[in-house]
């Protein structure tokens, strides 16, 4: 007999090529007019901010930019960004980029309306009231941060990674436009894609999974296994990019509802102490953790293998 389970997530998800063009209308739907756009500093050097401006300015929406985000973001960025949001009287936070930009954006949103600083909200359910509305726009198919309640940071003085975990970090809107992933180079495409695969496999084999989360996780495994190599070697293939982003989304939904296994726990020290990228660190840990967990979840790992296109005849089912 199955245990009782619940299922949560972002309040709204919009997925489709060119969906970035609808951003202004969604800001207005959330009764906002003064966004803070949080973006990776390297991504800010591309034409992406120009695309955002071309959508927002004609709609009468002026915006402030916070472009200090770096991979494996130090927690101080969240406090700095929150001060800018308050100073400019921003009423909505838009995170654009990979997981780092979206995590910083989600944290800024809650710090801006709650007292204290980012370190006060590390852990589980430390945020006492809702933050500013949040729209997350991923430019990688990897972290799934657009649909999770977590924001992860590096504490450089302690040489470790820690996360904020609160339902108040769920975005009001996840806006996924596969066209925004077309320019991602092969190396980050591979690393973020493998991060998504880790999310999918871990959440599917987690003891906290449910029939609903398993549905998303297993489909994510299939989509990622089928399309990641194509995205790495043929980055302009919009069909593969679309399916890969969908796989990342599904993996994020599975992650948010079932959690992960030891892969993430073991990878955090690599990022916090040695600066190893999150996707790469997870990928390094995945094979050993799968081997360790295999005897306890033979049927589930058979499902994983089948979803990845392997012949599972004769294996437990």
Q: pLDDT tens digits, residue range 175-202?
A: 999 999 999 999 999 999 999 999 999 9
Q: Are residues 28 and 64 in the same domain?
A: yes
Secondary structure of residue 68 in the 3-state scheme: strand
Which two three-digit tokens encode residue 145?
């941060």
CB-count exposure of residue 80 (10 Å: 0-12, 13-18, 19+): middle
Residue 174 forms part of a structural domain: yes
Q: Are residues 173 and 200 in the same domain?
A: no
**Angle at CA of residue 144, ends 220 and 176, nearest 5°:** 90
Which two three-digit tokens encode residue 108?
């800024």
Q: Are residues 227 and 172 in the same domain?
A: no
pLDDT for 53 equals 97
- The stretch 306-315 carries a mean pLDDT of 90
Of 70-74, 123-127, 143-147, 158-162, minimum mean pLDDT range: 158-162
Residue 3 forms part of a structural domain: no
pLDDT for 235 equals 97
Residue 37 forms part of a structural domain: yes
Q: Are residues 174 and 33 in the same domain?
A: yes
Which two three-digit tokens encode residue 259?
């959690």
pLDDT for 207 equals 95
Q: Are residues 20 and 161 in the same domain?
A: yes
Q: Are residues 113 and 131 in the same domain?
A: yes
Q: What does the longest C-alpha to C-alpha distance in the chain come to?
A: 63
How far is Cα of residue 224 from the mean position of the Cα atoms in its chain? Answer: 15
Residue 8 forms part of a structural domain: no
Which two three-digit tokens encode residue 161?
């990674």
CATH number at residue 272: 1.20.1090.10
Which two three-digit tokens encode residue 140?
């990688």
**Are the C-beta atoms of residues 256 and 148 closer than 8 Å to each other?**
yes
- The stretch 304-308 carries a mean pLDDT of 96
**How many domains does the chain contain in total?**
2
Residue 147 forms part of a structural domain: yes
Q: Are residues 166 and 27 in the same domain?
A: yes
Q: Are residues 42 and 145 in the same domain?
A: yes
Q: Are residues 129 and 203 in the same domain?
A: no
Strands of the sheet with 160-165, listed across from one edge = 123-124, 160-165, 150-155
Which two three-digit tokens encode residue 91?
């009423």
Which two three-digit tokens encode residue 3?
């245990």
Domain-terminating residue out of 148, 180, 212: 180
What is the tens place of the pLDDT at every residue in 213-231? 999 999 999 999 999 999 9
Q: Are residues 194 and 132 in the same domain?
A: no
CA gap 16, 289 in Å, rounded: 35
Secondary structure of residue 37 in the 3-state scheme: strand
Domain-terminating residue out of 147, 163, 180: 180
CATH number at residue 140: 3.40.50.1970
**Are the C-beta atoms of residues 268 and 161 closer than 8 Å to each other?**
yes
Q: How many CB atoms lie within 10 A of CB 79?
A: 16
pLDDT surpasses 60 at 169: yes
**Which range marks the domain in which residue 294 is found?**
186-307
Phi first, then psi, for residue 206 (nearest 5°) are -65, 145
Domain-terminating residue out of 138, 158, 180: 180
- The stretch 67-80 carries a mean pLDDT of 96
Residue 315 forms part of a structural domain: no
Sign of the C-alpha dihedral, residues 91, 96, 102, 104?
negative
pLDDT for 313 equals 86
Residue 1 forms part of a structural domain: no
User: Does the predicted model carry a pTM greater than 0.75?
Assistant: yes
What is the tens place of the pLDDT at every residue in 108-143? 999 999 988 999 999 999 999 999 999 999 999 989
pLDDT for 194 equals 97
Q: Are residues 199 and 174 in the same domain?
A: no
Residue 276 CA neighbour count, 13 Å, CB half: 18
CA gap 105, 108 in Å, rounded: 5
**Are the C-beta atoms of residues 230 and 240 closer than 8 Å to each other?**
yes
Find where tokens 């989509």 sit. Answer: 223
């Amino acid at each position: 007999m199955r245990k009782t389970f619940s299922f949560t997530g972002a309040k709204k998800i919009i997925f489709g090529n060119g969906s970035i063009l609808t951003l202004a209308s969604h800001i207005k739907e959330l009764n906002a007019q003064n966004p803070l756009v949080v973006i990776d500093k390297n991504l800010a050097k591309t034409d992406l901010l120009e695309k955002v401006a071309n959508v927002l300015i004609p709609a009468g929406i002026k915006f402030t930019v916070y472009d200090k985000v770096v991979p494996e973001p130090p927690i101080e960025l969240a406090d700095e960004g929150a001060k800018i949001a308050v100073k400019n009287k921003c009423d909505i936070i838009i995170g654009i980029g990979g997981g780092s930009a979206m995590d910083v954006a989600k944290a800024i949103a809650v710090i801006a309306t709650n007292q204290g600083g980012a370190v006060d909200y590390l852990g589980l359910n430390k945020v006492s009231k809702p933050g500013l509305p949040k729209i997350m726009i991923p430019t990688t198919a990897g972290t799934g941060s657009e649909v999770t309640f977590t924001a992860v940071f590096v504490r450089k003085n302690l040489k470790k990674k820690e996360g904020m975990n609160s339902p108040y970090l769920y975005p009001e809107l996840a806006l996924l436009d596969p066209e925004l992933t077309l320019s991602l180079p092969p190396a980050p495409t591979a690393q973020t894609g493998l991060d998504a695969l880790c999310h999918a496999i871990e959440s599917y084999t987690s003891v906290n999974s449910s029939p609903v989360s398993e549905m998303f996780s297993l489909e994510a495994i299939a989509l990622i296994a089928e399309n990641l190599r194509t995205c790495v070697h043929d980055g302009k293939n919009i069909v593969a990019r679309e399916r890969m982003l969908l796989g990342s989304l599904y993996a994020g939904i599975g992650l948010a509802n079932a959690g992960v296994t030891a892969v993430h726990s073991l990878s955090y020290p690599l990022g916090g102490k040695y600066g190893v990228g999150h996707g790469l660190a997870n990928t390094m840990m995945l094979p050993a953790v799968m081997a360790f967990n295999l005897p306890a979840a033979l049927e589930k790992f058979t499902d994983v293998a089948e979803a990845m296109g392997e012949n599972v005849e004769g294996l437990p089912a």
